[in-house]
Structure formats: C-alpha cells, structure tokens
Structure 1
Amino acid sequence: MTQDSQAIAAEYRGYAEAFQDQSVVEAYQCRPPYPDSTFDILTQLLPPHCTAILDVGCGRGELARHLAQRVERVDAVDVSPAMIEQGKKLPSGNHPHLRWVQGRIEEVQLQPPYALVTAGASLHWMDWKIVMPRFAELLLEGAYLAEVGTAMIPSPWTLLGEMLSRYRTDRYITQPHDVREQHLFQVVGKRATETILFVQSVDDVVESYHSRVGFSRERMGSVQAAAFDQEAKETLLKTYPSGMVPFQLRGHVVWGFPKKKE
C-alpha cells in the first residue's frame, strides 16, 4: 500500500469515531434489522465441538444479542462505550452467554479460541493488516470469519439522490482496495437470505441517516441537521405520500479464512 493509500485508510478509519456520538447511538434503532435466517446461516458455520463466537465492531449487538441465545458464548467487542451501554438495555442485552468488551479489536484482551468471528457491517472500519492475522490466531483451525450485511431496495444511498452529498460531513471515500484484493481474506462461501418486506415511516427513514457516519447530528450541527431533516422529509413525501416507505430487505453472509501472520 502506498503512503497516500495509507493516509486515506487512516482517514477512513478515523470516521468511525462518529459511532461514539450519542445521536448516532440513538438513531441506530432506525436501521434495518437482520432477517431471522441470517442467524441460521451463521450458526450453520459453527463446528460441532465449540460454539464460542467473537463479534467484532458489535455496536448495540444486533448480531451478538441474537447469537447469544443460540451458542455457549459470544464475546461482543466495540470501541464505543455508548453503543455497548445501549446494547445492554435491549432484548437479550444481559443474556448470560453474552460478554461485552469495550475497546479496539486490534488490541483488546480476549478469551480464545473462537469457532467463528462475525463482523456486521464493521470490517471496513478496521486496520485489516492487524486484525486479519489476529483473527487467524484467535480462531480454531478451520474456523471462519464471516462478514454480515444487509441490502435494501431502494438503497438508502440512492433514495435521496444528490442531496446526501450536500449534507454529509465526511468525504465519500473507501478503504484503498478490497480486503480480498489485498489477499488478506480467502472467501470460501456466500449465502443470502430470503427477501422480506421492511416498511418504515418517513420520519424513521430520515432518522436512520443520523446513525451513519456522515450524518451524526453532533458533527452536522443543529442548524444543518434540521435543514437536512426538513428537505429529506419533503423529498420522500413526494414519492411516498402515505408517509410509509416499503423496502425489499435481505441479509447476506460471506465467510472464509483470514490470512495468517507471516
């Protein structure tokens, strides 16, 4: 990776600090849920003799709280104390099989071995050259790292068109090159869930943007955030005059082996 690429990657990871903002934590409830069959896919990836899972970048525990009901132990790691505190208050947030760990996954103390590492829409915020070899060390031989995400139609990133670029506080950049292109992750399999109908009010759709890095209320400022909310609601109501927005939602899981330390 070139020096410029390293700088971009560092800038990109720096944006993740927004997940410690209280407004982002509070707005997270408006993000779409994982379809139930997502958890069936994940548990099917576990070997029969061990079911301890490490959930990285866990946020409020959208994966961890459900998985804790199915396995012997889930260690849920996130750098944001506010996200963890919120997660503890949600259903199964105090499950006896769930252990919350606050800190950077690159350096926190853990209790391996793990039969699966899960990353729900979080892997892109991490330092891949550090975490991939670490995951390889933490996992049982032959166990997987699973990237978990959702896809929606219409996509939140196209729903409001060009207005998003006028309001967002971050630069629209991605980490230089894909983790697979850097040969740090060997894909073994992919599965998608069934598509389900997910319906939200216009107000909740607009609020969901404030759970995303570029639209933290603290970083936008109250005036800019209020202007965004008003314009976004007016835009959505032109297309959805009932005040309800229907989405086609599905989950997806990609699993494989993280690269071992050389």
Structure 2
Amino acid sequence: MPFNHNDHYHDLLLRELPTPCRRALDVGCGTGTFAQKLALRGIEVDAVDADGDVITTARQQASALELPGHIRFEQADITRLTLPPGTYDYIAGLASIHHVPFETVQKLRAALTPNGVLVILGCYREATLWDHVVSLGAVPVNTVWRIVVFLQEKRSTKRACSSKQPPPAPVAPPSMSLTEIREFAAAGLHQSRIRRLLFWRYLLVFHNRVSEAGK
C-alpha cells in the first residue's frame, strides 16, 4: 500500500518558502515530485540526486508537464558538488541528509542568499524511550494513512492506466539521534528550529537572516 512519508510533509516544507523565491535547490530529489511543486510556483530549481535511475525517471516525468519554472536535474553527490555561495533562496533536503555527513548542512547554508531558507526533512536514530514511544504511536496512524492513500489511488484513473511504478530511492539507516542533531544545529546553524514529526521524521528550518549572513 503506497504512502510516502516525505510526500506527506510537502505542504509543511512549502510554508517555509521565502518571498521572493527565485531559485531553489532540492537535495536528494528522488523522482522529482517536490521539485515539480517548486517549479509550479515559477521557481527555477536545481534538483540533485546520486542515484541515476531516479534522476532518469524524474527527467521523464517533468518533461511531460508544463511548469512555469525550469527544473535542472543532475546526478551528483552533494558532498562533491560545487555550490557557489549566496546562490539559492531556498534549499530543501528530504530524507537525504542522513545519507551524507551531517556537516554537509554547513555547505548548504553557505549557498543560501541573504534571508534564504534551509529546510531539512530528516530521519533520526531512535535513542531514547520517548523516541520509541513516538515511533510506536505512529504505527496505527501510518496504517490508517496507507489504507486511505491506497483507496484514493485505486479509484484514480491515472493509477489504473499506469503499469510502471517509479524506481525506489536508495535507503540507509540514520546514524545520528535527534539529540545529536539538535546539538550540531545549535552550534552550526544558530537560531534554527527543529521539531519532531510523527512519521519517523524531524523538521529543521534555518533562516539565513541578514545579520547571520554577514557573520
């Protein structure tokens, strides 16, 4: 039964878009669903993923759409990619940062324009009793959502006519606990906000205020 936890939080991430937002970077873009939503808002998007299969699928799906903004897909390792400082108004990483050293967020921060926004929808390692309690509580809610999404897609003509499913994105277990992520963010991303989300995710939001950009 299909239920994509990352897709579930897209609207939450889009609320953090700055005004104006002309250019964005999607780190670990997968098959490009979130990049498409950014482009629908007229934003120029650089979408990067290390997996060649998902990038191929992302290009194919985006090419079939009429989007106000352009998406440039690139197969690349974000840790090796050169990001010019002060380039992006908005940078998003959806369940991708735990695939690379967490210090990569500093590289992303440097690529923000003044007043740009960095959002990380991340996965964390369960390390405390409360982590496990939240995880356990998410299980029945997750089951309900899976059933709802399955029934919706079963009724969808688009799904009924589609025989080919997109390739699955590579997965990896997160190595950092939420406490460790908070400690790193407190030291390297001053005044960032982190909150735990239900479906085994956290949300980190960093606003590159003009005063911060000058430091």
Q: Does TM-score exceed 0.5, indicating one fold?
A: yes
**Structure 2 unmatched ranges of 5 or more:** 124-134, 144-170
Q: How far did residue 255 of structure 1 move?
A: 0.9
AA of the residue aligned to 2:105: M
* CA–CA separation in structure 1 for the residues paired with 2:172 and 2:13: 33
- Cα distance between partner residues in 2 of 1:171 and 1:135: 21
Alignment of 1:166-185 (within 5 A): 174-175=175-176, 178-182=180-184, 183-185=187-189
Which of 45, 48, 55 is residue 84 of structure 1 equivalent to?
55
63, 69, 88: which one pairs with 2:34?
63
Please report how far the alpha carbon of residue 100 of structure 1 lies from its aligned counterpart in structure 2 after TM superposition: 0.5
Measured against aligned partners, the alpha-carbon deviations of 1:28-73 in whole angstroms (never above 9, x if no partner) come to x9452623xx444333323223331111011112321222212321
State how far apart, in whole Å, the 2-side matches of 1:178 and 1:93 are: 42
- Greater Rg, structure 1 or structure 2? 1
In 1: Cα distance, 2:53 partner to 2:34 partner: 17
Please state how far the C-alpha of 1:91 moved relative to its aligned partner: 5.4
> Given the alignment of the two structures, is residue 188 of structure 1 paired with residue 193 of structure 2, yes or no?
yes
Q: Deviations over 1:149-195 (max 9, x none)?
A: 69953469xxxxxxxxxxxxx99672477333223344336596xx9
CA contact (8 A) 1:179 1:185 kept: no
Q: 1:114 to 1:107 in 2, by over 3 A?
A: same
Alignment of structure 1 residues 95-244 onto 2, 5 Å: 95=67, 97-110=70-83, 113-129=87-103, 131-148=104-121, 153-154=139-140, 174-175=175-176, 178-182=180-184, 183-186=187-190, 187-188=192-193, 190=195
Distance in 2 separating the partners of 1:175 and 1:86? 30
In structure 2, give the amino acid aligned to 1:255.
V
Identify the structure with the greater strand proportion. Answer: 1
Aligned residue in 2 for 1:32: 4
Query: Is the alpha carbon distance of 1:98 and 1:171 closer, same or farther for their aligned partners in structure 2, counting shifts above 3 Å?
Result: closer
Q: Is the 8 A contact 1:188 1:257 kept in 2?
A: no
Deviation at 1:104, TM superposition (A): 0.8
Which residue is 1:255 aligned to?
205
Residue 101 of structure 1 and its aligned partner are, at CA, apart by: 1.5
Q: Please, what is the CA RMSD of the aligned residues?
A: 3.9
Q: Report 1:45-60 matches (<5 A).
A: 45-60=16-31
Q: What percent of counterpart residues are identical?
A: 24
* Matched AA of 1:126: V
How far apart in 1 are the matches of 2:12 and 2:200?
13
